[in-house]
Structures are given as structure tokens and as C-alpha cells.
Amino acid sequence: KYFMRGFSLSLGLLFCVVIPLLLSSWGTWTGSLNSGVLINAFFLVFVIGLAEELIFRGWLLVEMNQLFGPRLGLIIHAAIFSLVHARTTLDLWGLFGLLIGLFLLGIVLALMRKIDKGSLWGCVGLHGGLVGGWFLISAGLIEVSPEIPGWLFGPGGSSLNPLGGLLSIFVLIFILWRQRTLLAIGG
């Protein structure tokens, strides 16, 4: 149940990027997939999602909360998560956007664990779904123009990371608002 809720959330976030991309002149549907891409996407969802969630929300978040308290621990954990995933090949503004998006994702994932009563499966579904889903999209379903506006869709040109664009940042802020509401009413 938790995994599917997180995975569904990842699909919703990807949908919020892909639909405007396809409706613009910066994305073209190619729809070409092969078994290697599908297998790789499957492993990204489950292996990378599980491994990173065990490290970041299963261990690091707990350690930071014990060292600094729940509020500061949450912030430090999300900052570390974003810095570990940063790409140094980006320009300053692209890197800044990506760090903001990753930081927000770190907070979303930490709050998801709290909402899910300590379970990591929702986090695995969301994180793994984003990684595997975007790989599937970018490795064969959609061709992205190198002239894509990074501020809107994410930095990196034709190999963009959508978490650094305003579309994803606004969706992550909405998810945070929704999570805060859920936590306020008790889950």
C-alpha cells in the first residue's frame, strides 16, 4: 500500500513535467523501448530506490534527528541528500535549481516516512519511481530538444534532470503543503 502510494506520486510528478514537454516544441514522443531499457528501469525503481532510501531515510535521517533534533535534522538531511545528487557539470543557475528541487524532494521523502508511520516503502516507491520513470522516459519514450528552457523543465539540456525546473519545484511545494495538512490532521 505504501509503495504504490509513493509510486503513484512519482507518476503524477513525472506527468506534470511530461505533458507540458509534449505540448511544447521541446519534446517529441518517440515511443521506442526495448527490453534492456525496461529491465534497467525496473532495477532502478527497486534497487536504487531501496538502496538510497535505506541510506538516506533509513539511516541518515535518523542520525541527523538524533544529533540535531527533528527540525534541524530534517533540514541537514535534505541538504546532504541534495548535495550528494548534485551534478557539477551544470552552470550555476542550473545547479541552484537542481539543489532546490533535490532539497524539497528530500523533505518530501522524510515527511512521507513520517506519514507512513516509519515505513520506507512509500519513499522507495516515490524515489525509485522518479529515477526509473525518468530513465524510461528519457531513454526511449521522449526526445528532448537541447534548446529546452532549463529554468522551466530542469537543467541539463537534452539530458535534463526535471527536479531542477520550476514545474517540478512547484509540484514538490504542493506535495509538501499536502503532507503538512496530512500531518496536522493525524495522517
Residues forming beta bridges with residue 54, ordered by sequence position: none
Q: Is 157 helix (H, G, I), strand (E, B) or coil?
A: helix
Per-residue pLDDT at 11: 97
Per-residue pLDDT at 142: 94
Give helix 166-184 / helix 92-115 axis angle, nearest 10°: 20
Residues forming beta bridges with residue 143, ordered by sequence position: 28
pLDDT in tens, 108-138: 999 999 999 999 999 999 999 999 999 999 9
**64, 73 in Cβ contact below 8 A?**
yes
The Cα 119–Cα 140 span in angstroms is 33
The Cα 78–Cα 100 span in angstroms is 10
pLDDT at 187 over 60: no
pLDDT at 52 over 80: yes
Share of the chain above pLDDT 90, in %: 86
Chain Cα centroid distance, residue 153: 13
Q: What sign does the CA torsion over 42, 74, 69, 111 have?
A: negative
**129, 96 in Cβ contact below 8 A?**
no
Phi, psi (degrees; rounded to nearest 5) at 76 = -65, -45
C-alpha closest to that of 98 among 9, 146, 161:
161
pLDDT in tens, 74-102: 999 999 999 999 887 889 999 999 999 99
Residue carrying the nine cell digits 519534446: 27
Per-residue pLDDT at 183: 82
pTM of the model: 0.95
